[in-house]
Chain A
Amino acid sequence: MEFWNNIINTSMIGTDKKTIAANELPGDLSIAIETITSNTTIDKEEKFLQIAALSFNYRRSGIMPLHKETISLPVAEPEEKTYCNANTLQVLKDILSEESVPLLKFWLEHCSDKQQIVLPEILPVLLAKGAQEKKLQLLVAQCSGKRGEWLGRFNDAWNFSQQQTAEQTWQTGTPEQRKTILREIRTTDPNVARTMLQQTWAEEDANTKLSFLSILPTELGEADIEFLESLATEKSKKVKDEALELLKAIPSSAIVQQYQKILQQSVEIKKEKAMLGLSSKKVLSFVLTENINESIFKSGIDKLSNKKEFTDEEFILYQLIQAVPPSFWENQLGEAPEQIINYFQKDVVGKKMMSALVLAIRRFKDANWAFLVMQYSEIFYLEVLPLLPLQQKEYYSNKFFEQHPDSILQYALENNREWSIEMTRNIFRHLAKNPYQYNRSFYNQQIHLIPVSIVAELEKFTPQEEHLRNMWSNTSDYITKLVTLKIQTIKAFNQ
């Protein structure tokens, strides 16, 4: 609208410097403009205001829509899955307003398991949540259906809802999406995951490389050795160190073999006289061999002890024991694991080495040794707890909860599986005593682990201390609210 721009230009500069000319205005208005400009009773400012008012109304009265024959929007494909019912949608709205990511995940998992999708009206809120919570993106995409996928085309932040193949996501996805895909494939097909990684490795930056390596401990095995050993020439020290750490967790890797060789020459069973020479007993002997390849000291083994209870030689052995699989001792000493644990505990030096053995169990994820250590050790080693089968894990967690509440709670949180009711009772007894430390936000984040049946028992955990009671009462209400949403989710999806 050229004439209106002319009005604006005059308005900007001011009538002192510029007067609007008749030829700058529409011909339709010429008679009216002539009447205004020929009016000698008003000044130039007033004349301009009258012309502007006239043009303003002319402009407003002449607005026409834009006609574009070729502009159109592709229509979203019809849905293949069914919509979830109104009740489930209501629960979803309540969960979204509660801002609990685990509850949202819980809801989305149910929706995805039932092969259902959300109604279109809630999609913008859900996709925005997905853009924020990267770990939920896959689930959000699954529950958003074709309409969600279609919406993602118009909003870059939502393009995770585009249904892509794993290969496409790996090639073009965001770092978080690529990590998720790598993690998934590593679990189902570890070799394919490694090959994928090898193919794009040269193009990744150091931080991305590090984040991908952090996924490899899942299903780590002999087939990974060649790739990990090739990383010794990496520019980034952090990447090199991470690769070495991974190699140290593969029993057949050269580095572990090298450590085993030293231990073979340094640790053995010896017969020792007992009962004034009347009988003999088997004891462990820890004498570091002189035949040590110095290269081990470049692989993370310290030469000097940093613990006062260890001599330098003992400390080297301690580090090596940590880095070889526990099953090595069965071959080396020719004894059953329970007997080996017994030897370690009976020996003065062996006792000190026991914690290295436990760390090795942890490193090589040896569930059998973990179970035996738990059974035959005189000391409770928390570190092996996560390696135990579910039932035993629960049993030992409950048994030792009072002695190690914070550590066991930590493992229970990391386990990411709903707690048994017995375990929950133990944990809640501890949590209720510390309602300020474990506040609403704690329960909001951990609600997926809390079984719904605990809600009937919350009052039992009320602390003795007067000043904590009120806080616990408020917290209980909040837990009840979260648990209710969990129950409602289950119920709504089973209707």
Chain B
Amino acid sequence: MQFTEEQILALAPDEASKKPGKDLANAAKWISKGANDKALWGECQGSGSKPYLTQIDINNIAFKCSCPSRKFPCKHGLGLMLLYCRQKNDFTNNNAPAWVTEWLDKRVEKEEKKITKEEKAVDEAAQIKRQAARGQKVADGMEELRLWLKDIIRNGILSMPERGFAFFDNMAKRMVDAQAPGLANMVRNLGECNFFEEGWQHYFTNQLVSIYLVIEGYRNLQDIDDVLQQDIRSLVGFTQSQEELKEQTGITDTWLVLSKQVTEVDNITTERNWLYGIQSNQYALVLQFIVRGQGSQLTLTLGMFIQAELVFYPSVVPLRAIIKKQINTTAINKFAAYNNWQQVAETETMLCSKLPVKGDRPFIIQQLKPVQYNNQWWLQDVEKQMMPLKNEHKSIWKLLALSGGDALDMVVIGKENKYEPVGVWYKQAYTIL
């Protein structure tokens, strides 16, 4: 197991769970504990009469505990993992008890079942009918959206700040009814524009134009190539069956978890995990949606290396992917980085030419150093070319502390001319900012 203490704490479901977890990283709290190459386990004396049985699958990170906590992982799971990280040598017992082996066996069985699960017979005629009905609904909804956009443009966006939440929410709801949830989100983002911020007009117009591009793309769907069709469909909100994706052959590689961005809306936590394939030199975005109170399917820890097979969603600029199979591996410090900003700009141009509405993506860039220019922080490459920092207050101080004015190999996430540094290679190890 290659976790650092910071990485383990990043697995905590919330801030409040970290402290009790740390308290349990104390050998005195554990009646028994053990570890082998598959799992960690321990018996923790809690407030109940019987000790809690805590177990962790360390290859495909998963937790199980007999405590009544609804948090996932619970404090016992975190505590056991932290204790192992601090005092590996104290875990002398490597014969897993029956309750651990049974659980691990069941997990393997479940995985296998998933793979061999037979597909239900599909009523193709009904499916075609359903698809046509949805296609019509989406097209109708889009025409309404087109009129709505044109109204905004006719009257000017200057009056938008006074329109209020309902103006955007009603149209977003209409898009949900039209079975175009992707467009519904884009409309919502339009309404969430910070009208108090200087330059809001730029953000608003960008969003407006992106929606228009998706509408036009969908209208001309028949005239564009198959893969781009998939991009447009996915932007509209047509989902791709993950089971179908898993049947395809993906890219097996050692993937480094570069960054994790977490947002929470209406009790649903969205995790955006950014990965980089060491051999394939491919970047990937693995999304995970977690409903509050339920455990996550996937536990990716920042800075962790995983040997995994990733299947990418069909796209002209493949980025979003799912993990088909995963096993942990040891740290590898090999990567092909961009040499300078010029190369990043060229890549961005190439990607935009393929998909004009593309979003942020990560880049590993060699030897960037933070510099100050015009009261703003920038990242300067070896050619003395610079790009400004996005969300500079978030990462600049740790970046400066690690850099001390020297250049570092760095991971940034962004697009166009704003990039947020999320990690650096510091003393040969990937360090999260």
- Residues of A at under 8 Å CB distance from B? 4, 7-8, 11-17, 43, 45-46, 48-50, 52-53, 56-57, 59-69, 71-76, 90, 93-94, 97, 120-121, 123-124, 147, 150-151, 154-155, 481, 484
Contacts and interface: CB of A to CB of B under 8 A. Distances in A.
Interface string B365-409: 000011111000010110111110000000001101110111000
B384 A69 contact: yes
Contact of B402 (A8, A11, A120): A120
Contacts of B381: 65
A46 B147 CA distance: 9
A68 B372 CA distance: 11
B145 to A, nearest CB: 12
Interface stretch (B151-159, B184-192, B324-332): B151-159
Contact of B209 (A49, A66, A75, A147): A49
Interface stretch (B108-116, B235-243, B299-307, B342-350): B342-350
A147 B404 contact: yes
Nearest to B210: A56
Given A14-B153, A65-B387, A151-B400, A73 B342 contact: no
A64 B345 contact: yes
Nearest to B86: A90
Given A53-B212, A57-B352, A124-B398, A71 B371 contact: yes
Tell me which of A8, A49, A147 has the highest count of chain B C-beta atoms within 10 A of its own C-beta: A49
A183 to B, nearest CB: 30
Nearest to B377: A154
Contacts of B22: 94, 97
11 contacts: A8-B205, A11-B153, A13-B156, A14-B158, A45-B150, A50-B216, A53-B356, A63-B417, A66-B387, A75-B404, A154-B400
B271 interface: no
Contacts of A66: 373, 378, 385-387
Contacts of A64: 342, 345
A67 B371 CA distance: 12
B90 interface: no
Contact of A11 (B18, B26, B201): B201
A56 B213 CA distance: 10
A12 B406 contact: no
The 8 residue pairs across chains A and B that have the minimum distance between CB atoms: A14-B156, A65-B341, A75-B405, A76-B404, A124-B397, A65-B385, A45-B150, A123-B401
Contacts of B386: 65-68, 71
Contact of B154 (A45, A61, A73): A45
B19 interface: yes
Contact of A49 (B156, B212, B353): B212
Contacts of A90: 5, 86
Contacts of B344: 65
B5 to A, nearest CB: 7
Nearest to B432: A121
B401 A147 contact: yes
B19 A97 contact: yes
A339 B99 CA distance: 82
Given A16-B156, A71-B380, A52 B205 contact: yes
Interface residues of B, number: 63
A7 B208 CA distance: 12
Given A63-B417, A71-B386, A46 B404 contact: no
If over half of B's interface residues share one DSSP class (helix, strand or loop), that class is named, otherwise mixed; here it is: helix
Given A57-B353, A155-B397, 7 more contacts: A17-B156, A56-B213, A63-B349, A67-B386, A72-B380, A73-B370, A97-B18
B163 interface: no
Nearest to A93: B5
A447 B431 CA distance: 33
B353 A121 contact: no
B5 A62 contact: no
A60 B352 contact: yes
Contacts of A123: 397, 401
Contacts of A150: 404-405
If over half of A's interface residues share one DSSP class (helix, strand or loop), that class is named, otherwise mixed; here it is: helix
Contact of A61 (B150, B204, B353, B380): B353
A56 B23 contact: no
A342 to B, nearest CB: 58
A63 B344 CA distance: 10
Contact of A151 (B26, B401, B417): B401
B209 A53 contact: yes
A147 B405 CA distance: 10
A233 B266 CA distance: 67
Contacts of B120: none
B102 interface: no
Nearest to B205: A11
Contacts of A94: 22
A60 B202 CA distance: 13
A382 to B, nearest CB: 39
Given A45-B154, A121-B402, A63 B149 contact: no
Nearest to B215: A49
B153 A154 contact: no
B36 interface: no
Contacts of A17: 156
A65 B342 contact: yes
Tell me which of A53, A60, A94 has the highest count of chain B C-beta atoms within 10 A of its own C-beta: A60
A297 B415 CA distance: 79
Contact of A73 (B205, B216, B369): B369
A487 to B, nearest CB: 12
A74 B404 CA distance: 9
A74 B201 contact: no
A56 B210 CA distance: 9
A67 B385 contact: yes
B107 to A, nearest CB: 32
Contact of B384 (A12, A71, A73): A71
B206 interface: yes
A63 B405 contact: no
Contacts of B212: 49-50, 52-53
Interface in B200-241: 201-202, 204-206, 208-210, 212-213, 216
Given A14-B155, A45-B154, A67-B384, A61 B349 contact: yes
A431 to B, nearest CB: 22
Contacts of A57: 352-353, 356
Interface string B170-195: 00000000000000000000000000
A147 B213 CA distance: 49
Contacts of A75: 404-406
B360 interface: no
A90 B8 CA distance: 14
Contacts of A120: 401-402, 404
Contacts of B158: 12-14
B345 A71 contact: no
B264 interface: no
Contacts of B209: 49, 52-53, 56
Interface string B16-44: 00110011001000000000000000000
Given A11-B201, A73-B371, A121-B402, A68 B384 contact: yes
A87 B397 CA distance: 23
Given A53-B213, A71-B371, A8 B202 contact: yes
B416 interface: yes
Given A14-B155, A49-B209, A481-B23, A61 B352 contact: yes
Nearest to B402: A120
Contacts of A46: 146, 150
Tell me which of A4, A11, A74, A94 has the highest count of chain B C-beta atoms within 10 A of its own C-beta: A11
B150 A43 contact: yes
Contacts of B417: 63, 65
Contacts of A154: 372, 400
A49 B150 contact: yes
A90 B87 CA distance: 13
Nearest to B344: A65
